Amino acid sequence: MNIVITGASRGLGAALARHWAAPGVDLALIGRDEAALQAVARDCAARGASTRLALLDVRDASAMAAQLLAWDDARPVGLVVANAGVTAGTRPDGAFEGAEAAARVLAVNLQGALNLVEPLLPRLAARRAGRVVLIASVAAFRGLPDSPAYCASKAGLWGYGESLRALLGPRGVGVTNVAPGFFESAMSDKFVAPQPFKLSAEAVAARVARAVALGHGRCVVPRRMGYALRALELLPPWLVDRAVRLFRFSVADGG
C-alpha cells in the first residue's frame, strides 16, 4: 500500500504514519519541519515501512502537484490523507483573529487539502482504486464562537468530502470524511479552554485506520461529541447560539 500523508511531521499525521508503518507499506510524508519529518520517517522505517519525504507547503499548488505526480509515476498512490491543518481564533484578551490569520487557515486547511487531492483524482479514477481521507473536525458540524475561520475551513472540507464520495463511488474510489473532537497535539496545546472527551493522537489514528480498513465513508471520533453538535442544529438559532457559547475558547497566541 502506498500512502501519502500531509502534516506528517507531528500530531495526528505522525501518529497515522506510525500506525500504518509495516513491511510492504510505502509512506510518502509531507511537512515543512525537516528534522521532525525525518524523525517520523526513522520510526516508520524501524517498523519496516519504506518512506519518501517532501518538504512542502500545502498552499503551493504547483509544487504539490509536481511532487504528487512524480511519486505516483514511481509507485501508484493508494491512500491520500489530507491532514495538514492550522488554527486561529480570538485571543485570551478577546481580540479577533483578523483577516490575515483567517485567510491562512482557509488556505492551509481547505485549499491545501484540494492541492493534495485534485492532482491525483484523475489517476485514482482511471485505476478505479484508492481512497481519499480528509481530516476535518467536529467543528465542521456547527460554527463555534471564537474560531470562525477554522470552523468555515472544516465545514468546507467536510462538504467537499461528502460531494467527492458521491462522485467517486461509482468510479471505484473511496472517500472517508473524518471529524475528530479534541486530541493531544501541538495544536490543542494552544487552546485556552476545557477540552471535553480529549483523546490521544494515537487513539484517533487507530480509529481513522479502522474506518479506512472497513471502507467507511465517515469517521466521527468521539461519536457522542459529533452527534451533540449535529443535534444542536435542530434548535432555533438564538438557542443554539446560546448553547455553543458554552464551547468558548481562545487560542494562546492567536494560532
Ligand X SMILES: NC(=O)c1ccc[n+]([C@@H]2O[C@H](COP(=O)([O-])OP(=O)(O)OC[C@H]3O[C@@H](n4cnc5c(N)ncnc54)[C@H](OP(=O)(O)O)[C@@H]3O)[C@@H](O)[C@H]2O)c1
Residues binding ligand X (CB under 6 A):
6-7, 9-13, 31-33, 36, 57-59, 83-86, 108, 135, 137, 180, 182-183, 185-188, 201
| Beta carbon nearer to ligand X, 90 or 115 | 115
**Shortest approach of ligand X to residue 63 CB, angstroms?**
10
Q: How far is the CB of 3 from ligand X (least distance, A)?
A: 15
Grid cell of 3 as nine digits? 500512502
Separation between Cα atoms, residue 38 and residue 233, nearest integer Å: 43
Among the listed residues 150, 160, 182, 249, the single catalytic one is 150
Place of cell 484517533: 204
CB closer to ligand X, 127 vs 190? 190
Where does residue 221 rank: exposed (0-12), middle (13-18), buried (19+ CB within 10 A)? buried
Question: For ligand X, which is the closer residue by CB, 9 or 51?
Answer: 9
**Residue 80: which of 164, 3, 157 has the closest Cα?**
3
Q: What is the DSSP string of 134-200?
A: EE--GGGSSPPTT-HHHHHHHHHHHHHHHHHHHHHGGGT-EEEEEEE--BSSHHHHTEES--TT-B-
Shortest approach of ligand X to residue 182 CB, angstroms? Answer: 4
Q: What is the CA radius of gyration of the chain?
A: 18
Q: How far is it, in rounded angstroms, from Cα 114 to Cα 22? A: 28
Shortest reach from residue 126's CB to ligand X, in Å: 27
Please identify the residue of the shown chain whose CB is closest to the bound ligand X.
Answer: 11
Q: 168 or 182, CB closer to ligand X?
A: 182
Cβ at position 236, least distance to ligand X in Å: 27
Q: Indicate if 227 belongs to the active site.
A: no
Residue type for position 155:
A
Strands (E), the chain: 2-6, 26-31, 50-55, 79-82, 131-135, 174-180, 191-192, 218-221, 250-251
Instruction: CB nearer to ligand X: give 121 or 178.
Output: 178
Q: Is residue 182 within 8 Å of 196, Cβ to Cβ? A: yes
Q: Exposed/middle/buried for 98, CB within 10 Å: 0-12, 13-18, 19+?
A: middle
Active site residue ranges: 150
